[in-house]
Chains A and B, each alone.
Chain A
Amino acid sequence: AQKVTQAQTEISVVEKEDVTLDCVYETRDTTYYLFWYKQPPSGELVFLIRRNSFDEQNEISGRYSWNFQKSTSSFNFTITASQVVDSAVYFCALSEVLSGSARQLTFGSGTQLTVLP
């Protein structure tokens, strides 16, 4: 069975600090997809990124960057120069692909990030 672990339950940083959210996953398949979602206080989850298991290139989008390492089964998320608006719960998720169609999305338990002014 697939599993996603976000060991950091809560993180608190001061504005402008960099912060990394950890995500470790378990899967038996060689083909899978990883996701990050943000859930601000309003409650609605917002899709941030999708990465397939064959693409190990790191990705940067503005202040956000993602580090995918298959060797350690990790897909970590870094926010550079954090801002108060980054305060939210962040979820990592995993979807395995079997026989041409994907199985269900498995979510980690989430990391509550608080950015203090």
Chain B
Amino acid sequence: DVKVTQSSRYLVKRTGEKVFLECVQDMDHENMFWYRQDPGLGLRLIYFSYDVKMKEKGDIPEGYSVSREKKERFSLILESASTNQTSMYLCASSLSKLFAYEQYFGPGTRLTVT
């Protein structure tokens, strides 16, 4: 079974702090994604990566950056956290760069910025 793990289930940070969210997958998937989930808005894509050191912006990249130094690990970085970044963050991976493959999700990190 594919396993996608995220470093924290719950996180509380202060405004202006730098925040790192880590995601690791164990199935040698090429693609990795970061989404945020907000009530009534579904999932919105922040960034994705289809290879090591490669990254592409999704729909809402502003205020975020990402890092993929190893194939299995994809990090989401909030350079200076703001209250409007309070949300559930979901990491996912899929087999190849073709989005037609199903994505496997981690359990999510609920981030609160105060």
Does chain A bind chain B?
A: yes
Summarize B's interface: helix, strand, loop or mixed. loop
Within 8 A of B (CB), among A70-117: 91, 95, 97, 101-105, 107-110
The segment out of A14-22, A45-53, A54-62 that lies at the interface is A45-53
A100 to chain B, nearest CB (A): 8
The segment out of B63-71, B73-81, B101-109 that lies at the interface is B101-109
Q: List residues of chain B with CB within 8 A of the CB of A110.
A: 42
Total interface residues in chain B, CB < 8 Å: 23
Cα distance, A107 to B108, chains bound together (Å) = 16
Quick one: closest B residue to A104, CB to CB?
B45
A108 and B107 form a contact (CB under 8 A):
no
Number of contacts between A and B (CB, 8 Å)?
55
A45 and B99 form a contact (CB under 8 A):
no
Bitwise interface map of B from 89 to 108 toward A, beta carbon under 8 Å scored 1, else 0: 01010000111101111111
A105 and B45 form a contact (CB under 8 A):
yes
A103 and B90 form a contact (CB under 8 A):
no
Range of interface residues on A (Cβ < 8 Å) = 20 to 34
A91 and B43 form a contact (CB under 8 A):
yes
Q: List residues of chain A with CB within 8 A of the CB of B88.
A: 43
A44 and B45 form a contact (CB under 8 A):
no
Q: List residues of chain B with CB within 8 A of the CB of A108.
A: 42
A35 within 8 A of B: yes
B111 to chain A, nearest CB (A): 13
Q: List residues of chain B with CB within 8 A of the CB of A45.
A: 90, 92, 103, 105
**Could you jot down 23 A-B contacts, CB within 8 Å?**
A9-B40, A37-B105, A43-B88, A43-B107, A43-B108, A45-B90, A47-B102, A47-B104, A50-B100, A91-B42, A91-B43, A95-B99, A97-B99, A97-B100, A101-B98, A102-B98, A102-B99, A104-B45, A104-B48, A104-B58, A104-B99, A109-B40, A109-B41
New contact pairs (5) apart from A47-B102, A101-B98, A109-B42, CB-CB < 8 Å: A45-B105, A46-B105, A52-B100, A102-B99, A109-B41
In order of increasing CB-CB distance, the 4 nearest A-B pairs are A102-B99, A45-B105, A107-B42, A107-B43
